Amino acid sequence: MTTKPSLRIGSHLLPGLAAVALFVVMAAAVLRASFGDPQMFGPDAEITASIGYAMFNLDMGTVPGEGMLVAFIIIAVALDAALDGAILLAKREEDGSAVALLADGGRQVRDRFRGDAADTDRDAEDGGDR
């Protein structure tokens, strides 16, 4: 005989409720936000150069902009942290010490690209021991 599933209510539902509450707050903030009317750039506007000037809070561009130096630095630090994390995750460890990614000198990678013919040649050279 089968039984119906039942909902377990407890403290393990708290993170989900917090996520739903955060979503409601963010949705309310976005829906209540008001934006100014869109403006067009002139035909002779140097948009790319103006973005560079605005990023470093310089008033030299033809398109007015806000200073974005802090945002630029925050993005640079976040990308650097992501790159460091990717390198950390890519490292292999054996017995608690880091090992190079190609610890065998790339032999397995070369063999995979060369195919079965290379395996038989190497077996003949090694005397059949692998």
Q: Is the pLDDT assigned to residue 26 strictly greater than 90? A: yes
Q: State pLDDT tens for residues 74-125.
A: 899 999 999 999 988 877 677 767 666 665 556 666 666 676 554 555 555 5
- Between 128 and 109, the more confident residue is 109
Could you tell me if 68 and 59 are in contact, meaning their C-beta atoms sit under 8 angstroms apart?
no
**Digit-coded pLDDT (tens) for 2-23:** 888 888 888 889 999 999 999 9
3-class secondary-structure state, position 117: helix
Q: How confident is the model at residue 53 (pLDDT cuts 50, 70, 90)?
A: confident
- Mean pLDDT computed over 69-74: 80
Helix (H, G, I), strand (E, B) or coil at 98: strand
pTM: 0.34
| Domain segments of the chain as ranges | 47-83, 91-124
Scan for tokens 């397995």, then name that residue.
108
pLDDT of residue 27: 96
